[in-house]
Amino acid sequence: MYLRPVILVNEDLSEGVYAASGSNTIMNTNSDWQITASLNPVEGNKNQYTLVVSGKHATVQGHFGIVRATFTFSEPIISGYGRANTSVSGATLISDTWSGNDPGKEFSYELTVNGPEGLQLVNADMQCRNAWN
């Protein structure tokens, strides 16, 4: 199914202008992680989305333990669930998941998000919750 792209201009958003055609992808790199998150609408359900998350160590050191990802949406969401432990507060979804990977090795998981029609992913960030190896 093709959804016509929509241009939104909003000074409150971090980039200012977003183009959307049904799904949107955020890429972010911080001192620990490179994260890519993509929000995709579930066909036939205008209030459900699949959030596909992949992370990779941005540093040379490896990590073995819990990783926290924080996602911010354009509007408050109802729920988020999947492979990770999740919590929701307004437009923010936090997921804690296990990561036992080597530097540079990517891992991924999916979450289901329930929210309003037209929901957009605004930001994604990933941080280590345990000590380095």
CA distances to 50, 58, 62, 100, 124 from 65, rounded to whole Å, are 24, 16, 10, 6, 19
- The residue ranges of every structural domain in the chain are 23-128
- On whether the CB atoms of residues 70 and 122 are closer than 8 A, the answer is no
Residue 31 has what pLDDT?
Answer: 63
Q: Report pLDDT for 30.
A: 67
CA distances from 98 to 40, 55, 104 (A): 23, 12, 16
What pLDDT does residue 37 have?
92
Predicted local distance difference test score (pLDDT) of residue 16: 37
- Looking at residue 37, its amino acid is A
pLDDT value of position 64: 58
Residue 79 has a pLDDT of 96
Domain 23-128 annotated CATH 1.10.3720.10: no
Report pLDDT for 60.
55
Q: What pLDDT score was predicted for residue 25?
A: 79
Q: What is the pTM of this model?
A: 0.74
Low-confidence ranges of the chain (pLDDT < 50): 1-2, 7-21, 132-133
DSSP output for 11-65: TTSSSSEEEESS-EEEEEE-SSEEEEEEEEEETTEEEEEEEEEEEEESSSS-EEE
For residue 13, the model assigns a pLDDT of 44
pLDDT at 67: 82
* pLDDT recorded at residue 63: 56
Contact 125, 28 (CB under 8 A): yes
